[in-house]
Structure 1
Amino acid sequence: MKNVLFVAALLGYVSAAAQQPTGAQLPADTLAPPAEQTQRPPGAASRPSAIVGTTGTDRNELKYNLNESGSHFFKVTFLNQTWLRLNQSNPGTTVNQVPKTNTFDIGLRRTRIQMFGQLSDRVLLYVQFGMNNFNSLNAFPAYNNNGTPANRKVAAFFHDAVGEYQVFKNKDYLKIGAGLTIVNGLSRFSQPSVSSILSMDVPVFAQATVDQTDEFSRKLSLYARGQVGPIDYRIAVSDPFPIQTNGAVPPPLSSFSNFAQKGQNKQFQGLFLYQFFDKEANQTPGYMTGTYLGKKKILNLEGGFITQKAAMWHREGTADTVYTDMNLWSLAAFLDMPVNRRTGTAVSAYIGYFKLNYGPDYLRFNGIMNPASGTTVPLPGASGTQGNAFPMFGTGNVVYGQVGYLFRQDLFGAGNGTLMPYAQMQIGDYQRLTKTMGVYTIGLNYLINGHNSKLTLDYQSRPIYEAAGTQLAPTGRRGQLVLQYQVFI
């Protein structure tokens, strides 16, 4: 009977939420609210132990209270990001064996279900399930490596499955957790909250081993995290996946460094932030907010690292195999604060320097939700160069920056939302490129209902390359235009 009442309450809430005015905005943070927004102080009026949907200035949320105060609860969130994209293809691009100079595609960049709960004063359970980069080529090639037919229906998987224990009751000093998690080192963009990002997409290069020795940036890890005064920290030891299990044929051993196919060493990582003003959200494991839309006053300095012994290999001469450590670190500053609290204007900015050592001449092309399947103009020591791909990862130095400005609330009238334009740059000085690479993006968010309902128009300009001996030289530029619609509850 309890299950029937729970389902009935859920259906009733969804029906009511669909009729709420679009002007009520959710505070930007992770896919879940910070602890201070979900826990009531002692003596506060209790909520019923049921799905709660509130209006006005309160949150609309799918939440089941486990105690009368609401400090113990279980929540569910949903996220969907749909892309409509026009892309100028890289040289030699083919789509299902047909040459294409331009492509138009429709895809799901992310579709996620998040389930988490504060089960007791000290215990948190966090689970996320979903899929990424689902377009018409999602199952390409037509056959898997073992010769069996590919299946476009198997893309969804568990992103996170974490249990966490809060060592000091009602204090964020130390939380210890373990499981499949995005708790990472290197930078805030190595563990981004995708529901609240400023731009249309995150700087994926900061997810340094994504889908090589991790699962979409998640790793099997034991970690400690917390906030002590102005310091926010997270440290972790991770058990990386073998490169052979990422679903693609590993690159052959060559003079170009790549992830080693022999041996297995643990990975150590950490991220440390000094918070000058407000503290950042700290409830859900790892995830860091993209922009708070002026709801907080944030100025942070951060430093992070990832290191793994003998993670990489390459060949010197004709026979000698050399193993090298992977060492990555970064320093950055993040600002996100209101300009005028009365009108709701705000600014968000980030600048970071990344020192990336994957071993000699490591370079990896990547195209987000690539709209192409092959190329007739391969580049030496590189794969996946078709479609919208560019050298996203490599041994060398990267400077990344982004900036955005939030216009006044109700710019188009009460309940009709506002605008937030932005710009991004990724400047990469990689060993295998003859010149420094620049990828530039400009975009415009139409925040219909904050991050819960928003349209984003995004244009990106990237370089294209040709072989220059063992290096790659730029020969021009290509662009892509994307319209994204995000729905989040």
Structure 2
Amino acid sequence: MKKILALALAALPLLAPAQTLKDGKLTLNTDGSRYVKLTLLNQGWARYNQSNTGTRLFGENKPHTFDLGIRRFRLQFFGQLTDRVFIYSQVGMNNFNYLSERKAGFFVHDATGDYAVVKNHLSVGLGLSGWSGLARFASPSAGTILGVDAPLVEQATNDVTDQFLRKLSFYAKGKVSRLDYRLAVASPMAIQRSAGYNATVSRVASFSARPPQPQFLGYLQWQFRDQESNLTPYTVGTYLGKKRVLNVGAGFVAQPRAMWYRADNGRDTLSQAMSQLAVDLFYDAPVDTTRGGPSVSFYATAIRFDFGPNYLRNLGVMNPAAGGTVPATILNGPGNALPLYGSGNVLYTQLGYKLRDNLLGETTLMPYASYQLARYERLTDNLHYYDLGLNWLLAGHAAKFTLSYQNRPVYQTLANGDNVVESRKSAVVLQYQVLFN
């Protein structure tokens, strides 16, 4: 990969007569409208986690863990090659800790090219892309998120029928007046290639192992104040007071015959569509007009998931006990996993407040809080998830520490089949981010 990038950059002077380096872009013409750009992101974690009840790893009890890891490392290389042709690529790694395979290689996140049919209004493209549907943070800009993670609940098929939220898709995107839109038709990846695939069909819905039908996605937002860029699919978490943004959005994801389950007679296998619907609101703006003054960031969304009867799926971010075990009655699984996705309704909200610039020398602070409520068919007790944190902005998003306290429920399955909250567990994460953009 390094050799390819070096050769590509070395060849650029042969391709264009006027190159300058400005704002991280290597220009390909005199006015800078054609360019290539490279960005880098690294997010390192130090974490203490209270394990889910009964977690065992390598034959030993693990009531808690401490681990270091790389949550994300990303390299983007993209460019405006002509007035209408844009190419975008991203490679990287995710969730590398002491349980990961050694010498883990980078993998392709994005590989797309698009063409501006009507400049600024309609571009079409094809490839492995993050032009997803549903909601704003179904495709988050990893380097600008408010806390240590965006609302992962919006990435409901992550690594199930896609590659770390990216999908093989044909997409259209653009702006009409203040309406920003994205629409896509995707080819879902085979469920048989996903981690933890289980071919068993039961009365609880799961993703069908039959050849997949096309998936349809879309997200539209009305931008009341400042316009946001839609050059790439990834949406900014917070502008730290550099913009005045007020957006209202709505989106969907739909796929025919995506799910299957066993009929009540115990013999027939029934299929049904997967559908996801959401509405959301994003507000990010300075509190007053003072240069470098405080700013606020707010986001809220309501989501309706229909994956079929009693569908439920756990997620454990960079799980420090991946591959471990728990008693059969613990629904979450081991480590830090929790039932994040299911058929039912979700409310999510987050709020951050950046204090004035240069509060501590040349640095400042930005506390935040997020809350998720999920009412899933299979859970007797509602899911409440909390994340409280503090950003220490050393140089905006370019260099920052984030300290996060997270609290999640652990569910136990009773003899009558009810899934109730048995206890609550916590984690403390310290993240250091470096972003070259």
TM-score, normalized by the shorter chain, greater than 0.5:
yes
Equivalent positions of 1:201-220 (< 5 A) are 201-220=149-168
Q: Does 1:124 align with 2:94?
A: no
Q: How many residues are paired up?
A: 424
Counterpart of 2:133 in structure 1: which amino acid? G
Alignment RMSD, CA only? Answer: 1.9
Q: 1:345 aligns with which of 291, 294, 302?
A: 294
Identity %: 45
The structural deviation recorded for 1:379 is: 4.1
Aligned to 1:166: 116
Q: Does 1:199 align with 2:147?
A: yes
Aligned to 1:32: none
Q: Does 1:65 align with 2:27?
A: yes
Measure, in 2, the Cα distance between the counterparts of 1:6 and 1:278.
34
Q: 1:49 aligns with which of 7, 19, 29?
A: 19
Counterpart of 1:93 in structure 2: which amino acid? T
Measure, in 1, the Cα distance between the counterparts of 2:7 and 2:407.
52
Q: Which moved more, 1:274-283 or 1:216-225?
A: 274-283
Counterpart of 2:19 in structure 1: which amino acid? S
Measure, in 1, the Cα distance between the counterparts of 2:214 and 2:66.
42
Residue 451 of structure 1: SS of its match in structure 2? coil
Change (3 A) 1:94 1:48: farther
Contact 1:6 1:51 survives alignment (8 Å): no
Counterpart of 2:413 in structure 1: which amino acid? A
Q: Does 1:83 align with 2:53?
A: no
Equivalent positions of 1:185-334 (< 5 A) are 185-250=133-198, 252-284=200-232, 286-316=233-263, 317-334=265-282
Q: 1:407 aligns with which of 347, 355, 376?
A: 355
Contact 2:18 2:28 survives alignment (8 Å): no
Equivalent positions of 1:72-111 (< 5 A) are 72-111=34-73
Measure, in 2, the Cα distance between the counterparts of 1:196 and 1:7.
30
Contact 2:199 2:209 survives alignment (8 Å): no
Displacement over 3 Å in runs of 4+: 3-10
The structural deviation recorded for 1:340 is: 2.0
Counterpart of 2:34 in structure 1: which amino acid? H
Measure, in 2, the Cα distance between the counterparts of 1:5 and 1:460.
43
Aligned to 1:26: none
Contact 1:9 1:50 survives alignment (8 Å): no
Q: Does 1:386 align with 2:356?
A: no
Measure, in 2, the Cα distance between the counterparts of 1:291 and 1:251.
41
Measure, in 1, the Cα distance between the counterparts of 2:197 and 2:179.
42
Contact 2:179 2:220 survives alignment (8 Å): yes
Contact 1:395 1:431 survives alignment (8 Å): yes
Measure, in 1, the Cα distance between the counterparts of 2:165 and 2:117.
26
Aligned to 2:346: 398
Contact 1:281 1:289 survives alignment (8 Å): no
Residue 446 of structure 1: SS of its match in structure 2? strand
Query: Which 5+ residue runs of structure 1 have no aligned equivalent?
Result: 11-46, 53-58, 140-151
Contact 1:426 1:439 survives alignment (8 Å): yes
Residue 211 of structure 1: SS of its match in structure 2? coil
Residue 239 of structure 2: SS of its match in structure 1? coil
Aligned to 2:370: 424
Contact 1:243 1:250 survives alignment (8 Å): no
Measure, in 2, the Cα distance between the counterparts of 1:167 and 1:250.
43
Q: 2:406 aligns with which of 446, 460, 472?
A: 460
Residue 336 of structure 1: SS of its match in structure 2? strand
Aligned to 2:3: none
Contact 1:226 1:234 survives alignment (8 Å): yes
Change (3 A) 1:6 1:238: closer
Aligned to 1:336: 284
The structural deviation recorded for 1:196 is: 0.4
The structural deviation recorded for 1:154 is: 3.7
Q: Does 1:377 align with 2:327?
A: yes
